[in-house]
Amino acid sequence: MSYLAKNYNRKKISFERGKGAYLYTSKGTKYLDFVQGIAVNCLGHANPKLVKVIKDQSKKLWHVSNAFQIPEGEKLAKKLCKRTFADFVMFQNSGTEATEAAIKVARRYFYSIGKPNKNRILCVKNSFHGRTIAAIFASGSKKMVEGFGPKVPGFDHFIFGNHKSLKKGISKNTAAIMIEPIMGEGGIKVIPDWCLKELRKLCDKKKILLILDEVQCGIARSGDFFAFEKSKVKPDIVPIAKGIGGGFPIGAVLMNKKVASGMIPGTHGSTFGGNPLAMAVGNKIMDIVYNKKFLNNVKYLSKYFFFKLNKLREKHPTIIREIRGRGLLIGIQIHKNQTKFIKKLIDNKLLTIRAAENVVRILPPLNVKKNEIDQALKIIDKVCTETK
Ligand SMILES: *Cc1c(COP(=O)(O)O)cnc(C)c1O
């Protein structure tokens, strides 16, 4: 029997080791891993550069308290700020901590300028911002909050794509709008650039902060370092996690100078957040990923993958309904429930994961090879053919 709590309905496969885009079971069965820990292992499994950095740092220093200076963290924060909209960074350990810290930053800002009643956060109904007690109420998903009452107050919701509902959701107490530029768990739904622009304008007009949750779509996953970049919009606060650690748990909140002014000593903290081991890994990831050549390659691979997937949609119109997403954050929406489809892909040694709206989510490592994409396409084609 398993002594793990039953909060997951786990598949009956386990892996012993991984290399790049592949995972191996203890019996040596090889799987093409297009889940990658849900957009976490952005450089694939056991990347030699990451192995080296973790090995080197582990011999020097793993952890010290944030009560002391941590030069590795200073270095990573500087890289993030020099290259993005941000002026300051606060390190955490996970995505949900990052989104909650983002909410704290927003509320604390209004508190610090004497407007403590401006504290409500407006989110998309059925979005995903993590699993902690406030984050589940931010999502507005009935299923996620069931049994976890009392309700955490302070969250309002609007319907994705419904501008009337968005405007109705704003009140004089709204502090921030928090959205994912590309909804991951919600079904790989891309918010168009023009929408992000209008959203920024709306926030400016109503003196509301814009929080863009880039936990899943950020760190080069979209082909740009941030998914919102192409829109040229400047957010106020951006939580990140998943890809920035490449498999090592790291979260962070990026913020501009204005909102950072509320975060004075004592307002937030973390025991583990930003420790030297985590920061050494994060620095390496940034050096590899934040690079024009690397990003262009993600764009190139993405174009190829989308082109071929759309060909498969034309070939199997009764199975595939739509190809969604951007970069290497890809959703295949199928006509029926996707559970069986995903199981058949696994039987054919391709790992994918579900998202809402019957979507099969595909998250290859960002340094995936073209022949690995071809291999996945072949399996998807085969499963479509057999599903008929
Ligand atoms: C995964 C995810 C989170 C939560 O991250 P955890 O590390 O699981 O806590 C938050 N927001 C988005 C958009 C995510 O995809």
pLDDT tens, 65-113? 999 999 999 999 999 999 999 999 999 999 999 999 999 999 999 999 9
Q: In ligand 1, which atom is closest to the CA atom of 214?
A: 13
17-48 per-position pLDDT tens digit = 999 999 999 999 999 999 999 999 999 999 99
The Å distance, Cα 15 to ligand 1 centre, comes to 23
Average pLDDT in the 301-307 region?
A: 98
Atom of ligand 1 nearest to the CA of 135: 10
According to DSSP, residue 47 is labeled -
- Ligand 1 atom with the shortest distance to the CA of 97: 9
Q: What is the pLDDT of residues 126-167, one digit of tens each?
A: 999 999 999 999 999 999 999 999 999 999 999 999 999 999
DSSP 123-184: EETT----SSHHHHHHHT-HHHHTT-PSPPSSEEEE-TT-HHHHHHH--TTEEEEEE-SEET
Q: How many Å lie between the centroid of ligand 1 and the Cα of residue 95?
A: 4
Q: Which residue has the higher pLDDT, 63 or 1?
A: 63
Q: What is the pLDDT of residue 388?
A: 75
Same CATH fold assignment for domains 17-47+294-387 and 49-289: no
* Residue extents of the structural domains in the chain: 17-47+294-387, 49-289
Q: Residue holding tokens 């199997």?
A: 316
Q: Is 129 in the pocket of ligand 1 (CB under 6 A)?
A: yes
Q: Is the C-beta atom of 37 inside 6 A of ligand 1?
A: no
Answer whether CATH 3.40.50.300 is correct for domain 49-289. no
Q: Which of 97, 124, 213, 215 to mutate to test the pocket of ligand 1 (most atoms within 8 A of CB)?
A: 215
Find out whether the beta carbon of 130 lies less than 6 Å from any atom of ligand 1: yes
- pLDDT, one tens digit per residue, over 267-287 is 999 999 999 999 999 999 999
Residue minimizing CA distance to atom 7 of ligand 1: 95
Structure-token pair, residue 281: 């890994």
Is this prediction's pTM over 0.95?
yes
Q: pLDDT, tens digit, for every residue of 210-244? A: 999 999 999 999 999 999 999 999 999 999 999 99
| Percentage of residues in the chain having pLDDT higher than 70 | 100
Question: Which residue minimizes the CA distance to atom 11 of ligand 1?
Answer: 129
At the fourth CATH level, which superfamily is domain 17-47+294-387?
A: Aspartate Aminotransferase, domain 1 (3.90.1150.10)
Q: Pick from 366, 324, 359: which is nearest to 338 by CA?
A: 359
Q: Tell me the CA–centroid distance for residue 44 and ligand 1, in Å.
A: 19
- 121 in ligand 1 pocket by Cβ < 6 Å? no
- Could you give the CA distance from residue 156 to residue 177 in angstroms, rounded to a whole number? 9
Cα–Cα distance, 188 to 327 (Å, whole number): 11
